[in-house]
Structure 1
Amino acid sequence: MSANDFDFLHGQWRVANRKIADIPGRGTEWVEFEARAEARPLLGGAAIIDSIFADDWEGMTLRQYDPAGDVWRIWWASTRAPGELDPPLEGRFDGEHGVFFGDDVVGGHEVKLRFDWTAGADPVWQQQFSYDGGETWETNWVMRFTRA
């Protein structure tokens, strides 16, 4: 666990997305689409910012390492929710696997969020929601990254 945990993400990517089309936890139809992404370090490497571009929306993520707490915090914003910054998720890596948790409201429902990162040459990100306080988790978005 260190400020270098997300170094694998620096650079330009093609991103294969598989996502539940409706509000997660309430829909079952999966859609697939391509996007492109670019990530770069900030603050001497203690933070990383990325942008992702799909056909009909754009998003950005800020990840910042807190050495005192030995955790990463992750914030998300997109053109689908103008002027909003989602509450942060917090977590850490154990080897090449990172797990991050947070709370939010989605479609009017309180939800626990989980991000799973698998680092490496072809990283994978998964988002899961829990509507029962973390007892069960539903994967609703998977991104597979390939170098551009």
Structure 2
Amino acid sequence: MSSPHDFDFLHGEWEVRHRRRTDFLDQDSGWEEFGAGSRCWSLFDGAANIDELDVPGQGWKGLTLRLFDRETRQWSLNWSSSRSGKLFPPVIGRFEGGRGEFHGDDTHEGKDVRVRFVWSGISATTARWEQAFSVDDGDTWVTNWSMDFSRPSGTPAP
């Protein structure tokens, strides 16, 4: 069952390797790859956190605010990018068996999409995040972005 400390693994400094589809809705589109740095800190005694992603090679930053709802025992993940300055609709979900899965609704290029975030491969020094979109209410998914997190050399996990 999810707890306010599910994202404790993410606190601290990370190097991040991105792999992103050139067209988020096309399973056959190509991929672009780029690096970034990330740092995450805890709030509300673990029941919230913020991370900032710095992508200097692309000239933008991203921010995720994660909030744990103690009544539903679910997390809301709220994303914003310096490119727009807008808060995207949240994805909601929980961790089970070391894997976090979160769903929400959004639009992409004028199309309604179902959004899925998955956190997996979690250890003191690694983690993986994936995003997928569905245009058919979850019958099929296009994984369109992944981030592989690793601790910078010599950086201890918090």
TM bin, normalised by shorter chain, reads: over 0.9
Q: Structure 2 length normalisation: TM-score?
A: 0.89
- Whole-Å Cα distance in 1 between the matches of residues 111 and 83 of structure 2? 18
Residues 45-83 of structure 1, C-alpha deviations (whole Å, 9 max, x = no match)? 11010000102110000001001011000000001212x
- Partner residue in 2 for 1:25: 25
- Whole-Å Cα distance in 2 between the matches of residues 99 and 145 of structure 1? 17
CA offset at residue 120 of structure 1?
1.8
1:76 pairs with 2:79 = yes
Contact 1:96–1:120 (Cα < 8 Å) also in 2: no
* The one of 84, 87, 91 aligned to 1:85: 87
CA offset at residue 96 of structure 1?
1.0
SS state of the match for residue 123, structure 1? strand
Q: Which runs of 5+ in 2 are unaligned?
A: 153-158
- Whole-Å Cα distance in 2 between the matches of residues 80 and 103 of structure 1? 20
- Whole-Å Cα distance in 2 between the matches of residues 93 and 5 of structure 1? 7
Paired positions, count: 146
- Partner residue in 1 for 2:141: 137
SS state of the match for residue 8, structure 1? helix
1:115 pairs with 2:121 = no
Contact 1:87–1:104 (Cα < 8 Å) also in 2: yes
Amino acid at match of 1:62: L
- Partner residue in 2 for 1:104: 106
Misfit runs of 4+, over 3 Å = none
CA RMSD of aligned residues (A): 1.0
Q: Which runs of 5+ in 1 are unaligned?
A: none
